[in-house]
Amino acid sequence: MPKSSFSNEFTYKHFVESGKEDEFDKLFDDAAQRAKAQFGKKHPLYIGGKEVLAAEILTERSPIDGSVIGYFQKGTREHARQAVEAAAAALPAWMESGYKERADIFKKAAAVFSKNKFNLAAILSYENGKSRYESVGEVDEAIDFMRYYAAELEANKGFSRRTSLQGGTAKVSAGFQGAPSAKSEKVTIRLRPFGVFGIIAPFNFPVSISVGMSAGAMIAGNTAVFKPSSSDSMTMLSGVKIYEYLKEAGVPPGVFNCITGPGSEIGDELVTNTRVAGIAFTGSRIVGTGMIRKAYELGLQKTFIVEMGGKNPVIISKSANLDEAVSAVASAAFGFNGQKCSACSRVYVHESIKEQFVSKLIEKARSFKIGNPISKEVYMGPLISENALRTYTEAVEKAKATGRVLYGGNKAHVSMNGHYVEPTIIEVRHDSELVHSELFVPILTIEGFKNFDEALDMANDTEYGLTAGLYTGKRKEIIEFMERIEAGTVYVNRDTSATTGAIVGLHTFVGWKGSSVNGKGSGSKLYLQQFMREQSISITK
């Protein structure tokens, strides 16, 4: 394949800019019909290229109406062990396959995903309740990750370079640091894969984050055992589709293994198995730090590439373009029901415009249609699970008891068997737990501020540091914000969304503080290096 020059997929943008929005909708609607017709099938585990069945079955249901999406294997610790063995057996050949071959396979995979994008997007909407726009955007993001990482691997020549030292005229009888020699040295410095990676994926971006983490690991020469979200929030069908598409693209048997089953068994085995060299994980801070603690307590030195959530702030200054800020905050807080690590959950707005901001925000929130996300006009679908509903209800009760609910806080009237809730805006004291813990539901806290410094202090007063936004007309405030904000993915005056929707290759999606471990992001020039270790080999002639 020719060398890649990267460009983003941007499906919706291309349709709408060429006046073909109707075509976009028809492709999605037809794919939704096809997806539905396929639901209710039984799906195996994939270990070493073979289909494997377990003793028990997990039933995946759509959060939209509780209808059955499919039946999946309840993989056990033993299955995870077998998958690790298969990945270890496939490792030597895959490591030696050469970066060009691996880049070609993932470019081919990007093409397979692109060909199937509406089918996969439709499955995604049924599986986790995303709108068609969010779903197609997510599949695009997965395609972008594969193309971007392939292009990075090629541009860096597989992360291998050479240096050398010419022999001189002097030599010594006993060596020391910096001792001269008459002989020359040729040195290869390269990044090599760690080995077998466990890939533990979330329900909220089960296509793009799963593909991004898996492609990152495998294109770098590691082999992988992939666990889709399989417990309280299930996105196993898209996981199986990812397996099928990667296989079609030529990922060899054993290089990518797909195990559905509970985290307490599969995830735990991946974390504790000595043959697993690294874990790529996206999910909650409590699970992420728990895995790291467990591995290190057992004396296992594993590499962890983790993204562990956020409590993302937005500052609205007196000089902000208010309408833009309102629309961008509403999208960031309520898009996909706030079930994104990148969602905005805290707003700090200048006191002089607070009332106006809140009333415009309420107007905007009221305009969002809640219901079946398969319908074109619906902006907010169901929450992913009953647990998410409980989190929502308890947070609203706490807000009522300790502060004020400015808008929402109720179940939405939707006549389907799912958990539909209103976008919710609350006002509580800064020291409230609701301002500090990640809720992953559509609840936004609002606080006023008098001076910009104080707003920055409050924005930074969190254990997380994932995304952050600012709306201002003042250059001085932009500079101060850039200087002081403690977050990895930062947006100023962005009109589409205040904190969500990072674009591969354009932004880096990266957490600081408790949101990550090593402060390197995805969709970035520094992503692949995390899946490799450096080696320098010197040959003296």
Considering only 341, 389, 455, 468, the residue that binds ligand UN1 (CB under 6 A) is 341
Taking the complex as a whole, how short is the minimal distance between the CB of residue 452 and ligand UN1, in angstroms? 25
For residue 118, the surrounding DSSP H or E stretch is helix 117-128
Stretch that binds ligand UN1, among 8-16, 71-79, 204-212, 475-483 (CB under 6 A): 204-212
Catalytic residue among 152, 307, 427, 477: 307
Residue closer to ligand UN1, measured from CB, 308 or 414:
308
Stretch that binds ligand UN1, among 125-133, 336-344, 429-437, 468-476 (CB under 6 A): 336-344
Could you please report the per-residue DSSP string of 494-536?
A: -SS-SS----BTTB-B---GGGBSS---BSSTTTGGGGEEEEE
516 binds ligand UN1 (CB under 6 A): no
Residue closer to ligand UN1, measured from CB, 230 or 257:
230
Residue closer to ligand UN1, measured from CB, 11 or 223:
11
205 binds ligand UN1 (CB under 6 A): yes
Taking the complex as a whole, how short is the minimal distance between the CB of residue 121 and ligand UN1, in angstroms? 15
Sequence length of the chain is 541
Considering only 82, 235, 282, 317, the residue that binds ligand UN1 (CB under 6 A) is 282
Taking the complex as a whole, how short is the minimal distance between the CB of residue 205 and ligand UN1, in angstroms? 5
Are the beta carbons of 302 and 273 closer than 8 angstroms?
Answer: no
Taking the complex as a whole, how short is the minimal distance between the CB of residue 238 and ligand UN1, in angstroms? 15
Find where tokens 């389907």 sit.
416
Residue closer to ligand UN1, measured from CB, 326 or 344:
344
Q: Taking every pair of C-alpha atoms in the chain, what is the biggest distance, in angstroms? A: 88
311 binds ligand UN1 (CB under 6 A): no
Considering only 62, 204, 385, 515, the residue that binds ligand UN1 (CB under 6 A) is 204
Burial label for 475, CB within 10 Å (0-12, 13-18, 19+), is exposed
Residue closer to ligand UN1, measured from CB, 159 or 509:
509
342 binds ligand UN1 (CB under 6 A): yes
Taking the complex as a whole, how short is the minimal distance between the CB of residue 136 and ligand UN1, in angstroms? 13
515 binds ligand UN1 (CB under 6 A): no
For residue 161, the surrounding DSSP H or E stretch is strand 160-165
Contact mark string toward ligand UN1, 485..514, x via CB under 6 A:
---------------xxx------x-----
149 binds ligand UN1 (CB under 6 A): no
Considering only 141, 152, 269, 427, the residue that binds ligand UN1 (CB under 6 A) is 141
Stretch that binds ligand UN1, among 26-34, 45-53, 203-211, 432-440 (CB under 6 A): 203-211
Q: Do β-strands 45-47 and 50-52 pair in parallel, antiparallel, or remain unpaired?
A: antiparallel
Taking the complex as a whole, how short is the minimal distance between the CB of residue 220 and ligand UN1, in angstroms? 21
Say how many C-beta atoms besides its own lie within 10 A of residue 163's C-beta: 11
Catalytic residue among 141, 269, 341, 477: 341
* Number of residues binding to ligand UN1, judged by CB under 6 A: 12
Residue closer to ligand UN1, measured from CB, 75 or 523:
523
Are the beta carbons of 487 and 312 closer than 8 angstroms?
Answer: yes
Residue closer to ligand UN1, measured from CB, 209 or 333:
209
Are the beta carbons of 313 and 513 closer than 8 angstroms?
Answer: no
Residue 258 catalytic?
A: no
Where does 248-292 show beta strands of DSSP type E?
A: 256-258, 276-282
Nearest to 203 by CA among 458, 415, 382: 382
Using DSSP's 3-state secondary structure scheme, residue 54 falls into: coil
Distance CA 330, CA 352 (A): 20
Q: Long-range contact list for 533-537, CB < 8 A, 24+ apart?
A: 533/191, 533/192, 533/193, 533/194, 534/189, 534/190, 534/191, 534/192, 535/189, 535/190, 535/191, 535/192, 536/187, 536/188, 536/189, 536/190, 537/187, 537/188, 537/189, 537/190
Residue closer to ligand UN1, measured from CB, 8 or 181:
8
Would you please indicate which residues are annotated as catalytic (active-site) residues?
Answer: 307, 341
Binding site for ligand UN1 (CB under 6 A): 141, 204-205, 209, 282, 340-342, 500-502, 509
